Structure 1
Amino acid sequence: MFYAYLRGLVAFLLWIANGNTYYHNVDKILNKDENYIMVAPHRTFWDPVFMAFAARPKEFIFMAKKELFKSRIFGWWIKMCGAFPIDRENPSQQALKYPINMLKKSNRSLVMFPSGSRHSSDVKGGVAVIAKMAKVKIMPVVYTGPMEFKGLISGERVDMNFGNPIDVSDIKRMNDEGINEVANRIQAEFDRLDSENESYQVAKKPNLLTYIYRIPLAIIAVIVVLLTLVFSYLASFVWDPDKHRK
Structure 2
Amino acid sequence: MSLYKLCQKIVKFLFMFVYRVEIYGKENIPKHEGAIISPNHFHWMDPIVVGVYIDRQIRFMAKYELFNNKLLNKFLKKLGAFPVRRHEADLNAVKTALKLLKEDNLVGLFPEGTRSKTGELGEANAGVAMFSIKSAKPVIPVCIIGNYKPFTKIIIKIGQPIDFTQYKKEKMSNSDYLELSQIVMNEIKKLKEGM
> Are 2:119 and 1:123 equivalent residues in the alignment?
no
Which residue of the partner structure matches residue 69 of structure 1? 67
Larger Rg computed on CA atoms: 1
What SS does the aligned partner of 2:166 have?
A: coil
Displacement of 1:177: 4.7
CA RMSD, Structure 1 to Structure 2 (Å): 1.7
What SS does the aligned partner of 1:17 have?
A: coil
In the aligned structure 2, how far is the partner of 1:24 from the partner of 1:173? 36
In the aligned structure 1, how far is the partner of 2:100 from the partner of 2:73? 20
Which amino acid in structure 2 is aligned with residue 11 of structure 1? K
Which residue of the partner structure matches residue 24 of structure 1? 24
Which residue of the partner structure matches residue 183 of structure 2? 185
> Are 2:154 and 1:158 equivalent residues in the alignment?
yes
> Are 2:145 and 1:144 equivalent residues in the alignment?
yes
Which amino acid in structure 2 is aligned with residue 24 of structure 1? Y
In the aligned structure 1, how far is the partner of 2:18 from the partner of 2:68? 27
In the aligned structure 1, how far is the partner of 2:81 from the partner of 2:182? 27
Unaligned 5+ segments in structure 1 are 198-246
Q: Which has the higher helix share?
A: 1
Instruction: Say if 2:47 and 2:60, in contact at 8 Å, map to a contact too.
Output: no
What SS does the aligned partner of 1:129 have?
A: helix
In the aligned structure 2, how far is the partner of 1:89 from the partner of 1:118? 14
With the length of structure 1 as denominator, give the TM-score of the two structures. Answer: 0.71
Which amino acid in structure 1 is aligned with residue 33 of structure 2? E
> Are 2:174 and 1:176 equivalent residues in the alignment?
yes
Displacement of 1:179: 1.0
> Are 2:46 and 1:50 equivalent residues in the alignment?
no
Displacement of 1:146: 1.1
In the aligned structure 2, how far is the partner of 1:80 from the partner of 1:67? 17
Which amino acid in structure 1 is aligned with residue 17 of structure 2? I
Residue identity over aligned pairs, in percent, reads: 24
Instruction: Say if 1:11 and 1:49, in contact at 8 Å, map to a contact too.
Output: no
In the aligned structure 2, how far is the partner of 1:137 from the partner of 1:73? 33
In the aligned structure 2, how far is the partner of 1:180 from the partner of 1:86? 19
Instruction: Say if 1:128 and 1:174, in contact at 8 Å, map to a contact too.
Output: no
Displacement of 1:78: 0.9
Q: Displaced runs of 4+ in structure 1, greater than 3 A?
A: none
Instruction: Say if 1:140 and 1:189, in contact at 8 Å, map to a contact too.
Output: yes
In the aligned structure 2, how far is the partner of 1:53 from the partner of 1:173? 37
Displacement of 1:135: 0.9
What SS does the aligned partner of 2:23 have?
A: strand
Unaligned 5+ segments in structure 2 are none
Displacement of 1:111: 0.5
In the aligned structure 1, how far is the partner of 2:21 from the partner of 2:82? 28
In the aligned structure 2, how far is the partner of 1:53 from the partner of 1:196? 23
In the aligned structure 1, how far is the partner of 2:172 from the partner of 2:129? 7
Any idea what the Cα deviations from partners look like across 1:15-73, whole Å, max 9, x if unmatched? 2222x1101122222x22111000011111222122223321x2121111111112233
In the aligned structure 2, how far is the partner of 1:174 from the partner of 1:3? 36
